[in-house]
Amino acid sequence: MITLDLMEVIRRSFTMVILVFCSVLALSFTIERWWFFRRIKLDVENFMTIVKRYIEERKFNEALDRCKSTQNPLARLVEVGIMNHQKTKSQLIELMNATRLEERLKMERFTIILGTLGTICPFIGLFGTVIGIIKAFHDLAVSGSGGPSVVAAGISEALLTTATGLAIAIPAVVMFNYFMRKVRNLSIVLEANQMRVVNYLNVD
């Protein structure tokens, strides 16, 4: 019975080494993004209720303290709005728009890597399979003996790279879509509450 030694396959196949590296990258950035979004989780309704009360009472320092103590993109956006409440409405909106774009960039950080890994890993695996099949038939031609069993063993090892590529790509794509959905949802929250803050400040 022919069995596959995974470590031996990795040692002999440079594409498997690349795929192992890709899997480490995918796992690392998935954990990093998960922790990032977990850290910035916020009760938006409660936060905005408190901010609105402070603004209506003209307690800007208290509102700023609340924003600074809250590690969240919305808090940083509101902080910019309050700090610049004496500017004109158009200037205030431009400053808050710039902050909102900066916060979106922070939220999208590393997600492109997950998307890229989800795209290229199947191709890397397929490339390894093609190279492995070529090698298997070459070994058969050189040995001149062994029959189909020699080719079958080589092909089974070669197909392992395709399976590995897919095993990395599928979770990477799922997590990429999950994180991008969170980015889109948070971006909508930022935009909606930006308009609320501008109205609360009642700038001209």
Q: Residue 40: which residues within 8 A CB-CB, separation 6 or more?
A: 71, 72, 73
Domain spans of the chain, in order of start: 6-201
Q: Over the stretch 56-92, which tens digit does the pLDDT of each residue have?
A: 899 999 999 999 998 899 999 999 999 998 888 899 9
Q: Over the stretch 93-129, which tens digit does the pLDDT of each residue have?
A: 999 999 999 999 999 999 999 999 999 999 999 998 8
What tokens appear for 3 in the block? 């069995």
What is the arithmetic mean of pLDDT over 7-33? Answer: 86
43: helix, coil or strand? coil
Residue 98: per-residue pLDDT: 96
Q: Over the stretch 145-170, which tens digit does the pLDDT of each residue have?
A: 555 666 666 677 778 889 999 999 99
Q: What does the alpha-carbon distance between residue 197 and residue 113 come to, in Å, rounded to a whole number?
A: 34
Residue 191: per-residue pLDDT: 94
pLDDT over threshold 60, residue 1: no
pLDDT over threshold 50, residue 2: no
Residue 144: per-residue pLDDT: 62
Furthest C-alpha separation in the chain? 90
What tokens appear for 129 in the block? 């399979």
Full-model pTM: 0.84
Residue 8: per-residue pLDDT: 62
Residue 149: per-residue pLDDT: 64
Q: What does the alpha-carbon distance between residue 122 and residue 78 come to, in Å, rounded to a whole number?
A: 43
**Do residues 179 and 33 make contact, with C-beta atoms less than 8 angstroms apart?**
yes
Q: Residue 112: which residues within 8 A CB-CB, separation 6 or more?
A: none
Q: Measure Cα distances from 178 to 34, 133, 172, 185 in Å.
A: 10, 36, 10, 11
Long-range contacts of 101-105 (CB under 8 A, 24+ apart): 103/73, 103/76, 103/77, 103/190, 104/183, 104/187, 104/190
pLDDT above 90: percentage of residues in the chain: 66
Residue 200 CB coordination number (10 Å): 21
55: helix, coil or strand? helix
Residue 160 CB coordination number (10 Å): 22
Residue 150: per-residue pLDDT: 62
Confidence of residue 184 (pLDDT cuts 50, 70, 90): very high
